[in-house]
Amino acid sequence: MTSPAATDVISHQLLQLDEALNRLGLRTLSSGTAPTEWRWQGHAGASGEPMIITLDSAFPYSPPKVVLEARAGNHDWHQNQRGELCLWDRHAQGDLPWLDAQQVLTRVEEWVDNANRGWPADVPQLDLEAYSDPKLIPRRGHLVRPLIVIDRWTSVANHWFTASRPDERGCIHVQTATPPPPKPRTKSKGKPLSSHQLLGLAIELGEISAPFFTIHELFSELGSDAHRVEQYLAAGRDVVVAARYQRCGHTGFTGFWLWQDDRTNRYGHVAVVEEESSQRLRAGWHAGTITDRTVSVVGAGSLGSYVADILARSGVRHLVVHDDDRLLPGNLVRHATAEAPIGENKAVAVATVLNARTHDHTADARPAVRTLEDAMALLGEQDLLIDCTGDRLTFQLFEEAARLTGQRFLHVAVVGHGQYARIDICPPLAGADPIPAETTEPTGPLDFEGGCGDPISPTPPAAVVETAAIGARLAIQLLTGEAVAPAGESRHLFAAMP
């Protein structure tokens, strides 16, 4: 249903844009009540190139489409095969600059100037896939775009490989590099060859000076493997190509799905991601420093699961999780491993989830720490020990172990069933005093489930996640030597439970 208020706003913006473009010399070719009905014609700046401007249905929250018809089909950056220009990247769209008609024309003039000069100061737009039509495959009644997932590019670079066929979400998992495949069998009775695996080729495109559009250009990049690819396509066997390229000193990945239709080779774009590099780039600027640090998280309940999860996401690759308890249905409400099987050991569940995210993780599961000797040994072995048990006896155990070894540990706890987050550096740095005890308000009556008089904590999940985040941040700061409050931090979270 169209809102009259929204229609009035958009109509006003359309009329303003139309009037401004007319004043700047453009002619209105068509108009209407919907943005898609508007069309303007003019010339682009000093070059005088014929220019057509149209809008899509999301206007004003998407930019105008500007087409330089004389450039349609040109192999140049920041335009598609139809000559439609890319004038603003997503980071420059927030203030809707195209509502100012002069900015639109100025942007077109800048685009033409940059294109004529070969994009000398271009930012590293690693969007080679934007210049090809995507490959679409049917899955459960809808079309999905395939995605090739590679663990490490170096394991398959310049080799053939086998890969799984697309799953329900379109994911194609590269399995292993292989020697060049033999000549394929000839398909019989017009039926294509079938296989439970996809055959692929990983190629290096090097520095890209311009995007390419045609199947002939793609085959030229396959080198000596082009003939074998041609044979497989002729035999009815599709081939996927994963490619790495460089532009402006940065690395990008792209891919292609090749098939033959009526004896004509065709291709569609597929996305390619390298797990190792894509995750490393998003792990934060501390990742390179803490990747070789060793950390033990004692207690794999709600707090410990999230602390371990955040540290692994942030780059810690040598993580040990300690716990003896099993994962029960009620735990899943506040636990980071919500998809782990019920009844699994909590430490095993956490380590399994972390290791499944990427092969770089070496998370181990070990039993809970019970003795002073074990606590002392652990403090001596690990760069940092984090107590997330919420158990007073375990805290006292580590306090004594720290005193005897001269080591420190981090204690992460939720206080007052979510009233406070408390993270202690034990003992405090530089001889500082510990954080004063928080003044908590009485809580309402607690519920009990099984066990020996142990109530169910009504701590809100938000309090768990926020406390874990503070604890993980302090852990990262200690591991990297950043300045921290010498005794730790305490933060008020929620009022008392009514």
Q: Percentage of the chain surpassing pLDDT 70?
A: 95
Sequence-distant (≥ 6) Cβ neighbours of residue 233 within 8 angstroms = 239, 258, 259, 260, 265
In 3D, which of 234, 229, 222, 157 has the Cα closest to residue 199? 229
User: Is the pLDDT score of 94 beyond 90?
Assistant: no
pLDDT for the residue numbered 46: 77
Of the two residues 450 and 39, the one the predictor is more confident about is 39
How does DSSP classify residue 341?
P
pLDDT for the residue numbered 186: 67
Instruction: State how far the Cα of 377 lies from the Cα of 398, in Å rounded to an integer.
Output: 11
Same domain for 160 and 108: no
pLDDT in tens, 389-398: 999 999 999 9
What is the total count of domains within the chain?
3
Whether 191 maps to a domain, the answer reads no
Tokens of 272: 């390619």
Same domain for 443 and 351: yes
* Cβ neighbours, 10 Å, residue 93: 14
163-177, 306-320, 353-367, 459-473 — which is least confidently predicted? 353-367
Domain stop point among 64, 90, 118: 118
Whether 401 maps to a domain, the answer reads yes
Label residue 104 by pLDDT band (50, 70, 90): very high
pLDDT for the residue numbered 187: 60
Same domain for 305 and 168: no
CB 241 within 8 A of CB 200: yes
Same domain for 289 and 266: no
Q: Percentage of the chain surpassing pLDDT 90?
A: 70
Same domain for 476 and 444: yes
User: Is the pLDDT score of 452 beyond 60?
Assistant: no
Same domain for 424 and 310: yes
* Order of strands across the sheet that contains 420-426: 364-366, 318-322, 294-298, 384-387, 409-415, 420-426, 488-492
CB 349 within 8 A of CB 304: no
pTM, 2 dp:
0.85
Domain stop point among 280, 302, 335: 280
Same domain for 217 and 81: no
pLDDT for the residue numbered 83: 82
Whether 189 maps to a domain, the answer reads no
CB 51 within 8 A of CB 108: yes
Instruction: State how far the Cα of 420 lies from the Cα of 410, in Å rounded to an integer.
Output: 16
Domain stop point among 118, 139, 157: 118
Q: Is 229 exposed, middle or buried (0-12, 13-18, 19+ CB in 10 A)?
A: buried
Instruction: State how far the Cα of 456 lies from the Cα of 105, in Å rounded to an integer.
Output: 64
pLDDT in tens, 340-361: 789 999 999 999 999 988 777 6
Label residue 193 by pLDDT band (50, 70, 90): very low
Of the two residues 102 and 3, the one the predictor is more confident about is 102
CATH number for 79: 3.10.110
Phi and psi at residue 17, in whole multiples of 5°? -65, -40
Label residue 197 by pLDDT band (50, 70, 90): confident
What residues make up the domain containing 32? 4-118
* Cβ neighbours, 10 Å, residue 294: 16
Same domain for 216 and 290: no
pLDDT for the residue numbered 1: 53
**360-368: average pLDDT:** 89
CB 139 within 8 A of CB 163: no
Whether 330 maps to a domain, the answer reads yes
User: Is the pLDDT score of 494 beyond 80?
Assistant: yes
Residue 29 CA, distance from chain mean position: 43
User: Is the pLDDT score of 463 beyond 70?
Assistant: yes
Whether 339 maps to a domain, the answer reads yes
User: Is the pLDDT score of 419 beyond 60?
Assistant: yes
Whether 124 maps to a domain, the answer reads no
| 329 beta partners | none
Same domain for 150 and 264: yes
pLDDT for the residue numbered 458: 87
Instruction: State how far the Cα of 252 lies from the Cα of 156, in Å rounded to an integer.
Output: 16
Label residue 118 by pLDDT band (50, 70, 90): confident
Same domain for 472 and 326: yes
Whether 220 maps to a domain, the answer reads yes
User: Is the pLDDT score of 382 beyond 90?
Assistant: yes
Whether 498 maps to a domain, the answer reads no
Same domain for 309 and 437: yes
CB 136 within 8 A of CB 278: no
CATH number for 410: 3.40.50.720
Same domain for 296 and 271: no
Label residue 456 by pLDDT band (50, 70, 90): confident
